[in-house]
A and B are shown apart, each in its own frame.
Chain A
Amino acid sequence: MIKMGYLSDKFSRTFAPFGILKNLFKKPMTLQFPYESLPPLADYRGRHALDLEKCAGCFICSMICPNKAIWPAEFNGRRYPQVDLGKCCWCQLCEEYCPNEAIKLTPHSMMVTMDKESAILGLGEEGFVPRHK
């Protein structure tokens, strides 16, 4: 009796995995990346954006950044924060502790560059202006 139970166990264990054949009739779960992609959600921590009106130049963001990726830069006669995306760890502490809600993280996440210098976000009329592609 034990022998029969052992053999029938082995038998079912050998043939049950062929149930994977039902995957042939389902849609694949992967997306072909450059042509279709999963859009990031609204709260995703991506590239920074700065509101020049609201920024008070207090540099709390620079002090709280764990990787020291933010430091002051001159623009239009005032000092604003400038972010080095190569050092940033996307933790959102700068947004959390900014008293005027000036620096925010947008969901934009596709950032590519071959040049370390262009990873530093430049400053322009609308706030941060990316110099990478």
Chain B
Amino acid sequence: MDIEEKEIAFLTVPFGPQHPASGHFHALMKVDGETVLELEPHPGYLHRGFEKLMEYRIHPQNCVLADRLDILDPFPCELGYVNAVEKIAGLEVPKRGRYIRIIMTELGRILSHITWIGVLSMVLGFDSANKIAWGDREKIIRLNEMATGGRIYPCYLCVGGARRDISQEFVDETSKALDYLEGQLSFYDYFVFKNETFVMRMEKVGRMTAEEAIDLGATGPNLRACGVDYDVRKDEPYEVYPEVEFNVITREEGDAYARSLCRRGEIAESISIVRQLLNNLPDGAFRIELSPVWAAPEGECYFCLEAARGEKCFHMVSDGSPFPYRVKVRPPSLSHSLVQFPYLVKGNTIADVPAIYWSLDPGPADVDR
């Protein structure tokens, strides 16, 4: 191979796994002065082998394991697993169970987006917003504790419904927390999203056109910020989404600032969804009781849902035994950090690298599973 190399002296800078900015994700940057010439991602620091582990465990145990697939947003992982099994078996979950599931999932989406505001601010050097966002998370984590018994790992859903019911106290506390969060959203508006330095760092940085976004496999707010109107909750609705009204937030520019505004809009939409669901909560059973060694019949299912980061899909193959034959998870962050991140970073400065990385909102645990 005859490659002619120009004489550019470059430094190799690690965007290392031990880093306040990258989660547990390693990338090597080739830098010339302040401009990044190339970025090579090295994922795998968080690979725990969930897909293989799930083949040796029965369904109640797998629901506990599925939590850990993406720690910042655990509810869609459980929801995806449980829905895929139910679709193979043709189970019909009682109405109250479905409502409870989506209430907790949307609260988890708000939690994930607030965590994202905190981490993005930390990475941009914006200390104050980081600390304040971490304090706002506490409201939703307390609601998690009330409903599920665990603060970060809920272990809440099971095949056939939810493991525990929600109480009237939970409904009251949730309304209070949602009022507080709406007030905080207007605070974030003038403090973070319309802060001059935040806008200077994020505007016109990491721009993607709609065709590039679709080619690179972007989903979720990254895709919607480029103008493509695609949301799994509207296009292929599941659970109770046909019965709630919400808007899909899209923007035109496709840069990091547009992605931020998309996520901020989604927090407001999720708050309204939870309010509608709490108002119409039906009574009745919330769970179908199944034996722990219940087996789904033979079959295959590919179930897609909208996690906070993007489109998460579960491909489940069952062979009639209590253990699933194959569980394959399509994580949304895989294309964010392995494909879009190196593509968007070329030609930008070192200071833009963390801004682009976190504006794409990858979850390092999600990439490696």
- The reply to whether A45 and B150 form a contact with Cβ atoms under 8 Å apart is yes
Smallest CB gap from B150: residue in A: A45
- Given known A-B contacts A93-B61, A93-B64, A14 and B196 have beta carbons under 8 A apart: yes
Residues on A with C-beta less than 8 A from B138 are 29
Of B155, B163, B164, most buried by chain A (CB within 10 Å of CB) is B155
Instruction: Indicate if A66 sits at the interface (CB-CB under 8 A).
Output: yes
Residues B61 and A13 in contact, CB atoms below 8 Å apart: no
The one of B145, B155, B195 that contacts A13, using a Cβ cutoff of 8 Å: B195
Identify which of B60, B145, B149, B155 contacts A64 (C-beta below 8 A). B60
Chain A residue, CB-CB nearest to B57: A66
Which residues from chain B contact A40 at a C-beta distance below 8 Å? 145
CA distance A76 to B146 in the complex (A): 38
Q: Which residue of B lies closest to A90 (CB)?
A: B150
- Asked if B18 is at the interface of the complex by the 8 Å CB criterion, the answer is no
**CB-CB contacts below 8 Å: A60-78 with B:** 64, 66
Query: Contacts of A41 on B, CB cut-off 8 Å?
Result: 145-146, 149
The minimal Cβ–Cβ distance linking A72 to chain B, given in whole angstroms, is 19
Cβ of A111: which chain B residues have Cβ within 8 Å of it?
A: none
Per the bound structure, the CA–CA distance linking A92 and B195 in Å amounts to 45
A16 engages B194 (CB within 8 Å): yes
| Chain B min CB distance to A27 (Å) | 12
Q: Is A96 an interface residue (CB 8 A)?
A: yes
A42 CB, nearest partner CB in chain B, Å: 9
A125 to chain B, nearest CB (A): 28
How many Å lie between the Cα of A40 and that of B196 in the bound state? 40
B191: Cβ under 8 A from any A Cβ: yes
Give CA–CA (A45, B155) in the complex, Å. Answer: 10
Q: How far is the CB of B261 from chain A (nearest CB, A)?
A: 14
Asked whether, in the complex, the Cβ of A16 is within 8 Å of the Cβ of B64, the reply is: no
Binary contact readout A11-28 vs B (1 if CB under 8 angstroms, 0 otherwise):
011101101100000000
User: Is B301 part of the binding interface, using a Cβ–Cβ cutoff of 8 Å?
Assistant: no
Q: When A14-B196, A66-B65, A97-B292 are in contact, do A20 and B128 touch as well, CB less than 8 Å?
A: yes
Binding site for B on A (CB under 8 A): 10, 12-14, 16-17, 19-20, 29-30, 40-41, 43-45, 64, 66, 89-93, 96-97, 105
Question: Apart from A13-B195, A20-B191, A44-B150, what 14 extra A-B contacts exist at CB < 8 Å?
Answer: A10-B196, A14-B196, A16-B191, A16-B194, A16-B195, A17-B190, A19-B187, A40-B145, A45-B149, A64-B60, A66-B57, A66-B61, A90-B153, A105-B149
Can you list 11 residue pairs at the A/B interface with Cβ under 8 Å? A16-B191, A29-B138, A30-B135, A45-B155, A64-B60, A66-B61, A89-B64, A89-B153, A93-B61, A96-B163, A105-B149
